[in-house]
């Protein structure tokens, strides 16, 4: 009996640590990108997956302790996929007492109608979904739209674009919507997927499966995901360093003529970004940049939450 109590105490301790880390990550991302300002009404897009449940919980958490006022409205789009358990999200959202709206649109039917059998349906489906979410944000008077993509999604997108698209392009933590009317934010941008996964399991969210539409999973994304997970196991810290690299771009040392005026370089001009290191052996740190050992980082004293303070 005592053993069981000990385990439960330990589990609770670990869950608290995890929650603290997620809150810190979200708070830092919000501050770094000025994602939320006084009076914002944030439409939190809820798919019923682990990421969006976690995002909603952490945002509600921060709402309690933030020195600014903002409101949240959770939105789920019921795309009328066969077998979609439509009672789950309303029951959950009512149980936690959050304002919400379920939007019902049969995008599944449209996609099935327009796309021939066996072809990828995701691009039309996501375009339709985006349009509906933008319209809903306007109807609800939302000033920001929050999506649940995390650090690993951002890195995966970066590699997908590099490997298949010939571009160095990730997924921005904050951006203007295509119609220029909405600001989209990704508060989980600094959160590790494995933390979200552990948190979602511990919190026992009523997860809705993401394969109801019957679409084939994106194989290229899966391959990249496996590659990153493998690197994470074999080279601890590599993921953190790569994410730091996305925040430390040196345009004068890349090859994009639209980002840096290579043609305009003149004799006698100022040295840019440390000059040319082509002949030098560059000093690299022993430990990957941005990495802390797994068990120590949750209690790290780093507190950079100038906007959202953790209690």
285-291 LR contacts (CB < 8 Å, sep 24+): 287/237, 288/235, 288/236, 288/237, 288/238, 288/240, 288/241, 289/240, 289/241, 289/244, 289/245, 290/237, 290/240, 290/241, 290/243, 290/244, 291/236, 291/237, 291/240, 291/241
Q: Tell me the closest approach of the beta carbon of residue 218 to ligand SF4, in angstroms.
A: 8
Residue 273-302 contact track with ligand SF4, rule CB under 6 A, x = bound = ------------------------------
Touching ligand SF4, residues 216-255 (CB under 6 A)? none
Give the span between the Cα atoms of 89 and 45, in whole angstroms.
Answer: 12
Which residue, 29 or 111, is less far from ligand SF4 as judged by CB?
Answer: 111
* CB neighbour list of residue 232: distance below 8 Å, 6 or more residues apart: 238, 239
Q: Tell me the closest approach of the beta carbon of residue 132 to ligand SF4, in angstroms.
A: 12
Which residue, 106 or 215, is less far from ligand SF4 as judged by CB?
Answer: 215
125 is in an annotated binding site: yes
Which residue, 126 or 247, is less far from ligand SF4 as judged by CB?
Answer: 126
Judged by CB under 6 A, the number of residues near ligand SF4 is 6
At 102 the three-state DSSP class reads: strand
- Is residue 77 involved in binding ligand SF4 (CB under 6 A)? no
Which residue, 52 or 121, is less far from ligand SF4 as judged by CB?
Answer: 121
Handedness of CA 19, 21, 25, 27 (dihedral sign): positive
Handedness of CA 98, 104, 107, 112 (dihedral sign): positive
Q: Tell me the closest approach of the beta carbon of residue 75 to ligand SF4, in angstroms.
A: 16
Which residue, 111 or 185, is less far from ligand SF4 as judged by CB?
Answer: 111
Q: Tell me the closest approach of the beta carbon of residue 125 to ligand SF4, in angstroms.
A: 3
Burial class (CB in 10 A: 0-12, 13-18, 19+), 80: middle
CA dihedral 15, 19, 25, 26 (to 10 degrees): 150
Phi and psi based region of residue 286 (left: phi greater than 0; alpha: psi -120 to 50; beta: remaining) = alpha
Q: Tell me the closest approach of the beta carbon of residue 120 to ligand SF4, in angstroms.
A: 8
Which residue, 66 or 213, is less far from ligand SF4 as judged by CB?
Answer: 213
Touching ligand SF4, residues 117-156 (CB under 6 A)? 121-122, 125-126
Give the span between the Cα atoms of 235 and 45, in whole angstroms.
Answer: 34
Residue 184-223 contact track with ligand SF4, rule CB under 6 A, x = bound = -----------------------------x-x--------
| Residue numbers at the binding site for ligand SF4 (CB under 6 A) | 121-122, 125-126, 213, 215
Q: Annotated binding residues, as ranges?
A: 122, 125, 213
Residue stretches of the annotated binding site for [4Fe-4S] cluster: 122, 125, 213
């Amino acid at each position: 009996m005592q053993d069981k109590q000990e385990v439960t105490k330990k589990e609770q301790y670990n869950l608290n640590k995890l929650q603290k880390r997620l809150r810190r990550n979200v708070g830092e991302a919000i501050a770094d990108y000025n994602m939320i300002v006084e009076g914002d009404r944030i439409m939190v897009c809820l798919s019923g997956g682990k990421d969006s449940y976690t995002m909603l919980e952490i945002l509600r958490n921060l709402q309690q302790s933030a020195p600014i006022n903002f409101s949240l409205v959770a939105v789920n789009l019921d795309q009328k996929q066969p077998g979609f358990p439509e009672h789950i999200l309303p029951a959950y959202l009512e149980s936690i007492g959050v304002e919400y709206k379920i939007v019902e649109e049969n995008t599944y039917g449209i996609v099935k109608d327009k796309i021939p059998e066996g072809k990828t349906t995701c691009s039309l489906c996501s375009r339709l979904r985006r349009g509906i979410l933008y319209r809903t944000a306007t109807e609800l008077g939302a000033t920001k739209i929050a999506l649940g993509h995390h650090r690993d999604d951002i890195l995966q997108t970066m590699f997908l674009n590099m490997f298949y698209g010939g571009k160095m392009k990730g997924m921005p933590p904050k951006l203007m919507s295509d119609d220029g009317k909405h600001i989209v934010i990704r508060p989980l941008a600094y959160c590790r997927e494995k933390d979200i996964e552990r948190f979602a399991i511990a919190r026992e969210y009523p997860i809705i499966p993401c394969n109801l539409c019957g679409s084939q999973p994106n194989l290229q994304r899966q391959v990249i995901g496996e590659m990153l997970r493998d690197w994470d196991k074999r080279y601890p810290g590599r993921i953190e360093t790569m994410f730091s690299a996305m925040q430390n771009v040196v345009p004068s040392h890349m090859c994009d003529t639209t980002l840096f005026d290579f043609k305009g370089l003149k004799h006698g001009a100022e040295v840019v970004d440390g000059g040319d290191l082509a002949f030098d052996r560059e000093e690299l740190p022993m430990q990957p940049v941005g990495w802390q050992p797994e068990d120590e980082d949750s209690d790290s004293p780093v507190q950079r939450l100038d906007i959202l303070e953790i209690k």
